[in-house]
Structure 1
Amino acid sequence: MKLEDNAVQVATIGFTGKTAQRFFDSLKQAQIRTVLDVRLHNTSQLAGFAKKQDLRYFLENLCGAAYLEIPELTPEPDLLKRYQGKVLGWDEYAAAYLELIAKRGVERQLNIDLFRSGCLLCSEHLPHHCHRRIALEYLNTQWNSSLNITHLV
């Protein structure tokens, strides 16, 4: 299938399980212009090099990229807590998160141009069990498959 010329290239990445070198090199190689932070907890010491307070500096100086928080795509605290506490399984969490972003109407709140050469950031190493993948898949259905999604690992 040939991508249309107007397709928006967007990526996702998780910082867990990556060294800073691998993380920033992946962003540079993918020619990411903006990292879109969709984490609920982005100031934790556990975030290491990806703490919100430091990430803007690292992105600008190591990658020539910008940093932007996208709170519309973060899960609600209680939902995340129930998933992390194993009260909800992945399928229940994913369905509840999808319902949440649909209820928020994120496709109307966010401009597709924000995602152009952008990369959604979360903590999960792989996208399979991460809300960043669900968010982009949802937006892609709402925006008539205008997103070409790549998961950086």
Structure 2
Amino acid sequence: MTVAVATIGFTKTTAENFFARLKAAKVKRVIDVRLHNTSQLAGFAKADDLAYFLKTINGMDYVPEPILAPTEELMKFFKTDKGDWDVFSRDFSALMKERKVEKALKPSFLDGACLLCSEATAHRCHRRLVVEYLNKEWSGALTVAHL
């Protein structure tokens, strides 16, 4: 069974563009993988507001999933201290392994879902690391689109 999953970031975009991309991708559920989901980076992306907007505008569910978020220490290392991406990637992958996220979640949970984080692109964002890790652990069960 192949599971279609997407990822999206909300910075450097408008609310109109953000919600349109989700709708065009036929997303059913947005899974928030941020450590702090009350971010002020974009007004429409605060957890409570986002849940309302997703349901009202696109008929989508909102699910915060903290098991897929980095720790405070990892975020500080990478963002505040401008740490090395390769070190962050290695340490975050080790954290997912320690948390056994591949056992805590099922591929069906991600079917039609979109992982949400703040980074504009997936290139240097942990949401990409999440789908890559799960795809490896689930023997390539995911088809991933970065919106």
> Which TM bucket (shorter chain)?
over 0.9
5 Å-filtered alignment, 1:1-153, equals 6-86=1-81, 88-152=83-147
1:13 maps to a residue whose letter is I
Q: CA deviation at 1:121?
A: 0.1
1:19 maps to a residue whose letter is T
- Supply the distance in 2 between the matched residues of 1:29 and 1:44 (Cα, whole angstroms): 25
- Supply the distance in 2 between the matched residues of 1:94 and 1:69 (Cα, whole angstroms): 21
- Supply the distance in 1 between the matched residues of 2:26 and 2:13 (Cα, whole angstroms): 18
1:100 is paired with a residue of what secondary structure? helix
TM-score, normalisation: structure 1: 0.93
Q: CA deviation at 1:47?
A: 3.4
2:144 is paired with a residue of what secondary structure? strand
1:74-130 residue CA offsets vs partner (Å, 9 max, x unmatched):
000011011112352111111110110011100000121110000000000000100
- Supply the distance in 1 between the matched residues of 2:91 and 2:142 (Cα, whole angstroms): 23
Unpaired stretches in structure 1, ≥5 consecutive residues: 1-5
Identity of aligned residues (%): 47
TM-score, normalisation: structure 2: 0.97
Aligned residue pairs: how many?
147
- Supply the distance in 2 between the matched residues of 1:53 and 1:46 (Cα, whole angstroms): 14
RMSD: 0.9
1:29 maps to a residue whose letter is A
